[in-house]
Amino acid sequence: MEDEGYYTVVLNPILSADTNAETKRHEIRHILRDDFNKDSCDKAEKEVRGL
């Protein structure tokens, strides 16, 4: 989170629009779940991917 209280999601312009849309949805799920403040990023990643 930025100091102003917002997040920055950076997408890769080389990738397809569909891939970037999925990447954006994936990162938004992390933001909504407050995953960036959790101790284990591996656990948070598995949870958001449904593994």
pLDDT, one tens digit per residue, over 16-34 is: 999 999 999 999 988 898 8
What confidence category does residue 14 fall into, taking pLDDT thresholds of 50, 70 and 90?
Answer: very high
Percentage, residues of the chain above pLDDT 70: 80
pLDDT value at residue 40: 67
What are the structure tokens assigned to 32, written together?
A: 């909504």
pLDDT value at residue 36: 77
Higher pLDDT, 1 or 11: 11
What are the structure tokens assigned to 31, written together?
A: 């933001």
Q: What is the mean pLDDT of the chain?
A: 84
Alpha helices (H) along 1-51: 17-32, 41-49
User: Three-state DSSP class for 1?
Assistant: coil
